[in-house]
Amino acid sequence: MLKSLYRLRAFVGRYKFRLTVGIVAFGFARFFEALVPFFLAIGIDRIAAGESDVMMPVIGIGATVIARYVIVTFARYNVRRVGLLVAFDLRQALYGALQFQGAKFFSKYTIGDMMTRAVADISIIQRLIAMGSILFIILVYATVFGFGFMLYYSPSLTLLLLPPLPFVFFYARWSARKMFVASKDVQDRLSDLGAHVQENLSGIRTIQAMVQEDNEIARFSRTNQSYADAFYQQAQINSQMMAWMPSLAALCSITILGYGGFLVLDGEMQPGAFVAFFMYVNMVVQPFRVAGFIINMFQRAAVASDRLFEVLDLNPEITDQPSGATPAVIGGDIEFRELSFRYDEDRPLALENINLTIKRGESISIMGRIGAGKTTLLKQLVRILDTPKGCVFVDGHDVNDYPLAQLRSQIAMVPQDPFLFGEPLKDNLTYDEPTREIEQIWEAANSADLRDTIEQFPEQMDTIVGERGVTLSGGQKQRATLARGFIREAPVLVLDDCFSSVDTETEEHILSELKRLRRGQTTILVSHRVSTARHSDRIVVIDSGKIAEVGSHDELIASGGFYAELERIQREGADESDYEGFLGAPS
């Protein structure tokens, strides 16, 4: 537990002055609180002695109460402020770490899991600092000042109360270990719950279309029950600790009444001292009443810290180590040399011995069956996957030698998944540079055949497209992402199957605009349509991760291979099942 919490020192240490001020202030507040029984004992003893002058203890109690109120307010503000600042920094660090993770990471960790870590786990740590640390500080100060005054009034009675303390220590340690395991299970089940909800809502259209609402509700019920069971186990442990601690207070009370009463009757202890001693015992025991809550909070925070540092400790899958020898502006010459790539060691090669040279200004179409390796090849170019060294070159330089920011800004890749943010359409089109002029935005929209669609919207460019572009059709989303690619005017443009949801008339318009806009610049596009590929200078066919055919439209038609057969199927308008069967899997 302490090891994982100790790692938070790097974040808490930034605010150590404010935290130290708060801790010291709590010490003064607890000292003033300890003075109340002291002044009360003086007053009781004066009354017992028949004296009427109790003004001094009354003023003393009033002054200490006011001082404690002011100091506690100041101390709580500082400590809770530290909790808020640490939580802010942790979220920034986690979010920053996630931005540089790759495909392997997100195949292992779900988005719902990351949401739980970013929100719930960090909130637990914040509560530990803002509340748990306060309770712990109070417990320590109460023990110090309480036992100090107890020894002042009666050392013998104080020593009589010490024997139960080792049992309290060992019980707390045993409970802490059980609580750590239970808390980890709760947080893991909470992550499962978040992942389930996120996945379900992302696929709600598919669920409704396939009439699976009842099945999904039942499946969620099982996940929800698993979380509830884990939380119940944790609550049981916490309840046992909370129920056991008052027994300690009762034992102390019996001891004080018995032996302490004897000391008062024997004249060895004044009545005021007896009352004060009883109050100091309560000061010491009171924090122990919430010891179960404190242990629970520390254990949950330890689990949350483990889960956060599990992500923060991971190195980015794609390392950015530019050589400094690459050109500032990419020209567009691309070469693949003996490129082979596999996603995992236990999986077959996704790409095998790819050799391909693309000259600046050339347009290339890449075709092949689904799963043949087309998208994998394109991702190597912009290093979305960890590109092997010495295999992919841009302008004669290894892509690993380029700064990632330059590589991905000057090689504009439009992915096959037309993702849009839940923001105004204008902000989506200018995502990489929001300060673009409106005329430039409209020009890109026109090139993507999106202008007429936008003008039909009541708010036009300011139209909110909804999460993942839910308010737009598939074709509209695809054209919006095409416009986002066109507007960047990058030396190299990579289009990954971006015409699948547009009709042939729209496709012809976009292709003519593409040819006009990209004159003299390198363009690579993936498509399953011969009508799209035939306009390219060359067509590359990939089959089972290998280059099977390369040539112009006429050359590949004459060769009678995959491309020629695909052209025949599309030209003759074969059944959709035959077409999908032909593209469905690598040969």
Helix (H, G, I), strand (E, B) or coil at 353: strand
Residues 137 and 26: beta-carbon distance below 8 Å: yes
Reference 24, options 80, 88, 63, 78; nearest CA is 78
574: confidence class by pLDDT, cuts 50, 70, 90 = low
Residues 526 and 496: beta-carbon distance below 8 Å: yes
Share of the chain above pLDDT 90, in %: 0
H, E, C per residue of 242-296: HHHHHHHHHHHHHHHHHHHHHHHHCCCCCHHHHHHHHHHHHHHHHHHHCHHHHHH
Distances (CA, A) of 281 to 58, 154, 284, 379: 22, 12, 5, 69
Residues 300 and 308: beta-carbon distance below 8 Å: no
- The structure tokens listed for 339 are 């490129």
587: confidence class by pLDDT, cuts 50, 70, 90 = very low
Q: Is the confidence at residue 48, as pLDDT, over 80?
A: no
182: confidence class by pLDDT, cuts 50, 70, 90 = confident
- The structure tokens listed for 11 are 């974040």
Q: Which is more confident, 54 or 67?
A: 67
Q: Is the confidence at residue 24, as pLDDT, over 70?
A: yes
Tokens 């036009």 correspond to: 460
CA angle in degrees (0–180, nearest 5) for 529-510-430:
120
Radius of gyration over alpha carbons of the chain, in Å?
35
Fill in the amino acid letter for 344.
D
Q: What is the dihedral sign for C-alpha 175, 177, 178, 184?
A: positive
Residues 138 and 26: beta-carbon distance below 8 Å: yes
pLDDT digits (tens, 9 = 90+) for 263-280: 777 767 777 777 777 787
Query: Helices marked H in 430-560 — which ranges?
Result: 438-447, 451-456, 474-486, 504-517, 530-533, 553-559
Which of 74-83, 104-113, 128-137, 161-170 is the most confident on average? 74-83
pLDDT digits (tens, 9 = 90+) for 359-403: 888 888 888 888 788 888 888 888 888 888 888 888 888 888 888
Tokens 């590109």 correspond to: 387
Q: Mean pLDDT, to the nearest integer, of 6-14?
A: 84
Q: Is the confidence at residue 575, as pLDDT, over 60?
A: no
CA distance 381 to 394: 8
Q: Tell me, what's the pLDDT at 243? A: 63
Q: Which of the residue ranges 29-43, 325-339, 453-467, 505-519 would you say has the lowest mean pLDDT?
A: 453-467
Q: Which domains does the chain have, with CATH numbers?
A: 2-312 (1.20.1560.10), 334-417+491-583 (3.40.50.300)
Q: How many residues in total does the chain contain?
A: 587
Q: Mean pLDDT, to the nearest integer, of 165-191?
A: 70
- The structure tokens listed for 144 are 């110090």
Q: Mean pLDDT, to the nearest integer, of 189-204?
A: 70
Q: Which of the residue ranges 201-205, 556-560, 580-584 would you say has the lowest mean pLDDT?
A: 580-584
Q: Which residues pair with 50 in a beta bridge?
A: none
Query: Assign residue 444 a region: left if phi > 0, alpha if psi is -120 to 50, beta otherwise?
Result: alpha
pLDDT digits (tens, 9 = 90+) for 505-540: 777 777 777 777 777 888 888 887 887 888 888 888
